[in-house]
Amino acid sequence: MKTLEDFQNGQVLLIDKPLNWTSFQVVNKLRWEIRQKFNIKKIKVGHAGTLDPLATGLLILCTGKFTKKIDTYQAQEKEYTGTITVGGTTPSYDLETEINETFPTDHISDELIHETTKQFVGTIDQKPPIFSALKKDGKKLYEIARAGETVEIKTRKITISTFEITNIDLPNIDFRVVCSKGTYIRSLAFDFGQALNSGGHLSALRRTKIGDFSVDDAQSVEGFIEGLK
């Protein structure tokens, strides 16, 4: 059983983020539960790397003095598993928005899929999605996108050390990716679809590792709350 002092001195909490929750909702929920448990007004809680609402998996939360370590965890390599669905694109590059364009997929063979992954391994230039929390002139990109405005987004260097295809059942392609901080798997899905001379969007995503931390060791939000009692 953790004490208030434990949380104030600093804890690293591994949480398996549920589907449809934002990372901030997880932070706010756990912060509220800790405050209620110990009847305190304030406790620092932060997360080390956002997961989109439609993604599940490993979220590292730091409490108290350990919030200073967040940048260290954020900088570590991450592993994801997920599904790219080819034949259609969406403005958000995932299922948050509706399919806006469709493309042929008849020419896509297993061989072409495996061959195309090679273009994305190593240090590459990637353009973040416009539906993201990155800021341009002080405004979040997704706010600009939702207002229907267009904006020029610069590419940035990211590193993908592993891009493995784990199953092909067209239009769905399952994958495992190990990548650097700042990689958008949604952008990878979109770019991969283009590289296949088709279109693609991310239809499922799970973060399985951050550095040496694994989702296998994470607990659910409910599990954490139960452990506080």
Domain limits, the chain: 4-75+212-228, 78-210
Confidence (pTM): 0.93
Strands (E), the chain: 12-17, 45-47, 55-63, 78-86, 88-89, 101-102, 122-126, 135-136, 139-140, 156-169, 172-179, 200-210, 213-214
Q: Do domains 4-75+212-228 and 78-210 have the same CATH topology?
A: yes
Out of 6, 16, 52, 174, the active site residue is 52
Which ranges of 130-208 would DSSP assign to H, the alpha helix?
141-146, 185-195
Is the dihedral angle over the CA atoms 143, 148, 96, 190 positive or is it negative?
negative
The pLDDT assigned to 140 comes to: 73
Which neighbouring-strand residues pair with 85?
Answer: 172, 201
Say which residue the tokens 């694994």 belong to. 214
Q: Tell me yes or no: is domain 78-210 CATH 3.40.720.10.
A: no
Q: How far is CA 162 from the centre of its chain?
A: 16
What stretches in the chain show pLDDT beneath 70?
133, 142, 145, 148-149
Is 52 a residue of the active site?
yes
Q: How far apart are CA 229 and CA 223, in angstroms?
A: 10
The CATH number for 4-75+212-228, chosen from 1.10.10.10, 3.30.420.40, 3.30.2350.10, 1.20.1250.20, is: 3.30.2350.10
Rg of the chain taking only CA atoms, in angstroms: 19
- Per-residue model confidence (pLDDT) at position 145: 67
Place of tokens 């994470």: 218
**pLDDT on residue 181:** 94
- The strand pairing partners of 61, in sequence order, are 13, 47
The secondary structure element, H or E, covering residue 25 is helix 23-38
Pick from 12, 65, 43, 8: nearest CA to 218: 12
Cis, bond preceding 104 (omega within 30 deg of 0): no
Distance CA 148, CA 157 (A): 27
Residue pair 58/220 in contact by the 8 Å Cβ criterion: no
